[in-house]
Structure 1
Amino acid sequence: MLCCLSGWLCSTLFYFAILPAAILIGTKLIIKKLRGKVDLTNEVDIQGKTVIVTGASDGIGKVTAEEFAIRGARVIMACRNLQKAEKCVKDIRTRTTNGELILMELDLSKLSSVRKFAAEFLQKYGGASNPGGLSILVNNAGLAIAPGVRKVTEDGFEETFGVNHLGHFLLTNLLLPEMEKAGNVSTDPSRIVIVSSVAHVWGQINFDDLMFEKTPLEDWKVFSKFYCNSKLANNLFNLELAKRLRAKKVNVNSYALCPGYVETNIETNILRDNPPNWVWMKVIRPVLSFLMRKDAKEGTETTIYCALSKYLTHHSGEMYRNCEFWDYSKRIKLSEKDAAKLWEVSEKLVKLN
């Protein structure tokens, strides 16, 4: 009797604990092995060059700023909360004294703040005072709000779309002359890096109601459609931007990327404000987190790859993840027609011309 019970317990333990754990651990190791890595031996030299990272006071942005500083760059940390950013700089300085870390205020939810930032940057670090121009612009800052919630910026834009797309759209266009200047004085192209997300595959751009002022919001429980829409806008922006840069024949490249599943304050805030059901929180999310989650440094690697890899010197307008090209056949087909239309609409919304 005891032998039968012991055998049953061993079988149960094997099939319901040991085997699943072994499968999970094995899958995690395979996934981690398939991730690309930054090749430090094949990077352009950014010693003394000027770069801007938006949203650099936390998460991926903070690590991105630190990686640029380690390589000797002058890093403009464009942050909404300067007090938080100051603590970030102190923390980075405990690990490296290389490069420069310069704080500047930027609130992407306010077009007035975007214009003020650009004007101050040009005054302090542009023109004749910096013949080298702006070598790298990383549009990293991002906002996600709880599903089912709609907020607007002071300019009247749906908040996620306004911050994630329109704010960066205006900023990039205002800084383009400095980026073109950097490209003119270097054999290496200056680079615009747009941190997007795999969430763009669930996005949809409704040109008849971009701000969802008339369309009823039927949102998912886990993540917001507004966020997905804004990430699709990021990719369309990248597509049209690269096309326009090629037409101008300037030495400036543009890239979009998905950093992967990185647990940041964005996710933490959403889960706090609108927690999904028990099955998601206690079963699905822990498994996905164990298998897929990257820490902030791992999540930064594709950003650094797009910003510095020599392999990408002759590429522009494409998207990357895990430090490699993301094949168009494996994701949503981006429409050049939609990209051009979004650009025209965005110009009008931010009053660029």
Structure 2
Amino acid sequence: MRMTDQMRPTSYHRVAKALHWLIAALIIAQFVGGKFMTHLGLGTDEKFFVYQMHKSFGFIILGLSLYRLYWRLTHPVPALPTGMSKAEKAIAPITHWLFYGFMITVPLTGWLYVSAQSGVDTKIFFLIPVFHFPVPESDFWRGAFDNAHSALATAMIGLLVLHVAAALKHHYMSRDETFLRMLPAKEGATGRIAIPAITGALVAVAALYLVVMLVWGEDDHHGPAPTDERTAMEQIGQTSGDPHAWSLLPEESYVQLTGSAFGAEKTVHIDDVAAEIVLDLDHPEEAGAIRARIGLASLDSGEAITNDELKGSGWFSVAEYPAAMFVSDEIIATAQGFVAKGMLTIREVSQPIDLPFTVTMEGVTAVASAEVVVDRTTFGLGGDGAGVTPQVTVTLHIEAEPAR
């Protein structure tokens, strides 16, 4: 039997009201918090915490939205006010069903995005592990899901603004009970107190959001290094005229960084390596020098979010300091191979480094392998947070041929 307007309740059920206001508050907090976490210069530990909390509340919203959809399908809702125009009556159900679509698809696309991030575990409030969808772990899919998540979230907030405007219009202009029937009680002082309070809170949130956007500007992503700095770094080349000079083979040479972040091992590959090398393999003390430039813009962890973090201002600050430098004018022979005593410079911070390495000859090609543990905090990388271990293992694979 079709339910008539007379058979419908005059107000929403208290469960529907609780779900409405709880989900609304969480959505607004998630949107504003999402902008905060991508625009504020958070440290690594803070950013990890905020991202995990953002994901956790996203799952809460998804669960609550699915339950609210079930409640909506199984419980009658109040009839629309009789004074509403035909256009308003046609738009109202479309708006509500669009909201259900957004409340479910926004967290789902976020879930798909983190599923495309290799090595990034998700635990609700750091306690409950969540499975990841079997989606390809690639930049294409990460970008597609990230763009979809952002676009849907923005569209949902736009719809929310229209929804709030319509509710206020019903209360202040049409003077019907559309807004009041979603409050804990329709009569008495509830409406006189609650509605202005809600309006003021929304205005305050909007003002705070605008301040963040105006003050902190663009997202915390970083483009290529300035051309003049990059050009200066690329001036490192072959050392001509020295009989013990070596020409580095850039396609075969790389640097690898390995460390532990939040309980998981992370490996970063850097393939932009240039160097001037002078080395007499038989008498390194007489002819031994290295000038190496490591292009940090090429670093790749296999995870877009980690790459952005490492290139950001809290770590290597690649936009301002596009390269790390290692300079050694003293190389000594040891029982195991060689040690290059020099200075490693990152972000204009220089620290002495003893770099042990071995050299094997493959025809005319010298293959050098090196490994050293560096304390990242001495270079001001990542701060002192406990989430990332201070010790980072630096592994180098260098191939070179005699310079001609």
Interval of TM-score (by shorter of Structure 1 and Structure 2): under 0.3
Which TM-score applies when normalising by structure 1? 0.24
Greater per-residue helix proportion? 1
Greater per-residue strand proportion? 2
Which TM-score applies when normalising by structure 2? 0.22
User: Looking at both structures, which has the greater relative contact order when contacts are Cα pairs under 8 Å and sequence separation is at least 6?
Assistant: 1
